Amino acid sequence: MTNEPVSLDMALASFDALWSPRIVTSVNDYDVRIAKVRGEHLWHAHDDTDEFFLVLEGELHISLREPDGERTVLLPRGSAFTVPAGTEHKPSAPSGASILLFEPTGTTTVGDRHDEIPDHVDATTGHALNGVLPR
């Protein structure tokens, strides 16, 4: 892990891949990840952990399957939202967005339960930013 500040703008400018998060730093047993997104992800759920989203640029939509039915949360730039553990959800960004995620180290981007993984979605636990993993 670096002991220097990380510019999120510079970190985001260092890669182009969509739906393929980069690990910026870690906090205890959690990764702080950034990602560029456009289009749709896939329906999935993380059985044992919440998933935190912060929109840095653009607008993110998160569709949720809840006991009362489906709904979609719209997150404009600067908005944050936490998907509770076990909740099926499907992020999307029709016009594109940059997001920050906060989740336990080793959490896969496609969750514990998911639809078929489309080619444009990277099933990963996060990639090193500029080739260097924190810690």
Q: Is residue 133 part of a domain?
A: no
DSSP secondary structure code for residue 107 in this structure: -
pLDDT in tens, 104-130: 999 999 889 888 888 989 999 998 887
Question: CA-CA distance, 16 to 78, in Å (whole number)?
Answer: 21
Position 132 pLDDT exceeds 70: no
User: Band of the pLDDT at 4, cuts 50, 70, 90?
Assistant: confident
Q: What is the pLDDT of residue 19?
A: 96
Distance CA 36, CA 47 (A): 24
Q: What span, in angstroms and rounded, lies between the C-alpha atoms of 70 and 88?
A: 10
Q: What angle do CA 88, 55, 28 make, to 5 degrees?
A: 75
Residue for token pair 């992020």: 91
* pLDDT tier for residue 11 given thresholds of 50, 70 and 90: very high
Is 39 exposed, middle or buried, given 0-12, 13-18 or 19+ CB atoms closer than 10 A? middle
pLDDT in tens, 54-90: 999 999 999 999 999 999 999 999 999 999 999 999 9
**Residue 14, token pair as written in the block:** 């260092």
Q: What CATH number is given to the structural domain containing 56?
A: 2.60.120.10
Residue 19 lies in a domain: yes
Q: Please give the Cα distance from 110 to 117 (Å, whole number).
A: 8
**Using the 8-state DSSP alphabet, how is residue 121 labeled?**
S
Q: Does a structural domain hold residue 12?
A: yes
Are the CB atoms for 53 and 82 separated by under 8 Å?
Answer: yes
Per the structure, the complete domain to which residue 92 belongs is given by 8-127
Tens of pLDDT along 96-106? 999 999 999 99
The verdict on residue 49 lying in a domain is yes
| Residue 26 located in a structural domain | yes
In a domain, 1, yes or no: no
How many separate domains does the chain show? 1
